[in-house]
Amino acid sequence: MTKARLVVVGNGMAGARAVEEILKRGGAEQFDITMFGAEPYGNYNRILLSNVLSGAEDESGIFLNDLEWYRENGIELRAGVRVTRIDRFARVVHAEDGTERAYDKLIIATGSSAHMPAIPGIRHPSRGYHQGVFAFRTLDDTRAMVRYARQHERAVVIGGGLLGLEAARGLQAHLPHVTLVHSGGHLMHAQLDAQGGAILRRSIEALGIEVITGARTTEILGRTAVTGVRLRDGRDLPCDVVVIAAGIRPDAELAAASGLVVERGIVVDDHLQALDEPDIYAVGECVQHRGETYGLVAPLWEQARVLADQITGADPSAEYHGTRTATKLKVAGVDVASMGLRESERDDDETLVFAEPGRGVYKSVVIRDGRLVGATLVGDVRRVAFLTQAYHEGSPLPPERAELLFGSGMSGASDDAAAVAELADDVQVCNCNGVTKKMLAEPKFPTVGAAMEATRAGKGCGSCKSLVAQIVEWAAGGAVAEDPSASWYVPGVPLDKDALMTAIRAQGLRSVSAVFAALAPGGAEDAKSKMGLASLLRMMWGADYVDERDARFINDRVHANIQRDGTFSVVPQLKGGVTTPAQLRRIAEVAEKYEVPMVKLTGGQRIDLLGVRKEDLPAMWEDLDMPSGWAYGKSFRTVKTCVGAEFCRFGLGDSTALGIAIEERYQGIEAPGKLKLAVTGCPRNCAEAYVKDLGVVAIEGGRWELYVGGAAGAHVRKGDLLTTVSTAAEVLTLTGRFIQYYRESANWLERTYSWVPRLGIDHIRAVVVEDAMGWAARLDEAMSASVAAYRDPWLERRAAATPGQFQSVAQP
| pLDDT per position as a tens digit, 51-88 | 888 877 778 778 888 888 999 999 999 999 999 999 99
User: Stretch 416-433: mean pLDDT, rounded?
Assistant: 73
The residue ranking higher by pLDDT, 443 or 508, is 508
Q: Would you state the pLDDT for residue 811? A: 37
For residues 101 and 86, give the distance between their C-alpha atoms in angstroms, rounded to a whole number: 10
Contacts of 234 (CB under 8 A, 6+ apart): none
Q: What is the 3-state secondary structure (H, E, C) of 618-668?
A: HHHHHHHCCCECCCCCCEEEEEEECCHHHCCCCCCCCHHHHHHHHHHHHCC
The one-letter amino acid code at 796 reads E
Is residue 571 within 8 Å of residue 608, measured between CB atoms?
yes
Phi-psi region of 313 (alpha: psi -120 to 50; beta: other; left: phi over 0): left
Q: What percent of the chain has pLDDT over 70?
A: 94
For residues 554 and 806, give the distance between their C-alpha atoms in angstroms, rounded to a whole number: 11
The residue ranking higher by pLDDT, 592 or 807, is 592
pLDDT at 607 over 60: yes
pLDDT at 410 over 60: no
Q: Report DSSP letters for 687-742, one per residue.
A: T-GGGSSEEEEEEGGGEEEEEES-EESSSEEPPEEEEEESSHHHHHHHHHHHHHHH
pLDDT at 105 over 50: yes
Most confident of 306-310, 542-546, 644-648: 306-310
> Coil, strand or helix: which one is 189?
coil
Percentages helix, strand, coil for the chain, rounded to the nearest 5? Answer: 35, 25, 40
Number of H helices, E strands in the chain: 26, 42
Task: State the CB neighbour count (10 A cutoff) for residue 514.
Answer: 17
pLDDT at 708 over 90: yes
User: Stretch 175-203: mean pLDDT, rounded?
Assistant: 92
User: Of 43-47, 341-345, 378-382, 479-483, where does mean pLDDT reach its minimum?
Assistant: 479-483
Q: Can you state the angle between helices 761-768 and 752-759, rounded to 10 degrees?
A: 90
Q: Would you state the pLDDT for residue 411? A: 38
Q: Would you state the pLDDT for residue 103? A: 97
Q: Would you state the pLDDT for residue 498? A: 87
Q: Would you state the pLDDT for residue 613? A: 86
Kindly tell me the sign of the dihedral angle through the C-alpha atoms of 440, 443, 447, 451: negative
Q: Would you state the pLDDT for residue 724? A: 96
Within its chain, how far is the Cα of 571 from the centroid?
Answer: 26
Phi-psi region of 523 (alpha: psi -120 to 50; beta: other; left: phi over 0): left
Contacts of 711 (CB under 8 A, 6+ apart): 691, 693, 717, 751, 752, 753
User: Stretch 523-527: mean pLDDT, rounded?
Assistant: 86
User: Of 39-53, 673-687, 793-807, where does mean pLDDT reach its minimum?
Assistant: 793-807
Residue 341's nearest CA partner among 329, 332, 350 is: 350
pLDDT at 548 over 80: yes
For residues 708 and 753, give the distance between their C-alpha atoms in angstroms, rounded to a whole number: 8
pLDDT tier, 699 (very low <50, low <70, confident <90, very high otherwise): very high
User: Stretch 182-204: mean pLDDT, rounded?
Assistant: 91
Q: Can you state the angle between helices 761-768 and 728-745, rounded to 10 degrees?
A: 120
The residue ranking higher by pLDDT, 159 or 419, is 159
Q: Would you state the pLDDT for residue 187? A: 93
pLDDT tier, 570 (very low <50, low <70, confident <90, very high otherwise): confident
Which pTM was predicted?
Answer: 0.61
The residue ranking higher by pLDDT, 715 or 220, is 220
Q: Would you state the pLDDT for residue 409? A: 42
pLDDT at 179 over 90: yes
Q: Would you state the pLDDT for residue 809? A: 45
User: Stretch 9-25: mean pLDDT, rounded?
Assistant: 96
For residues 87 and 102, give the distance between their C-alpha atoms in angstroms, rounded to a whole number: 9
pLDDT at 272 over 50: yes
For residues 609 and 406, give the distance between their C-alpha atoms in angstroms, rounded to a whole number: 56
User: Stretch 281-287: mean pLDDT, rounded?
Assistant: 97
pLDDT tier, 9 (very low <50, low <70, confident <90, very high otherwise): very high
User: Of 64-78, 306-320, 424-438, where does mean pLDDT reach its minimum?
Assistant: 424-438
Residue 172's nearest CA partner among 125, 206, 132, 139 is: 206
List, for residues 728-773, the tens digit of each pLDDT value.
999 999 999 999 999 999 998 889 998 999 899 999 999 999 999 9
pLDDT at 798 over 50: yes
pLDDT tier, 799 (very low <50, low <70, confident <90, very high otherwise): confident
Q: Would you state the pLDDT for residue 415? A: 46
Q: Mean of the per-residue pLDDT values for the chain?
A: 88
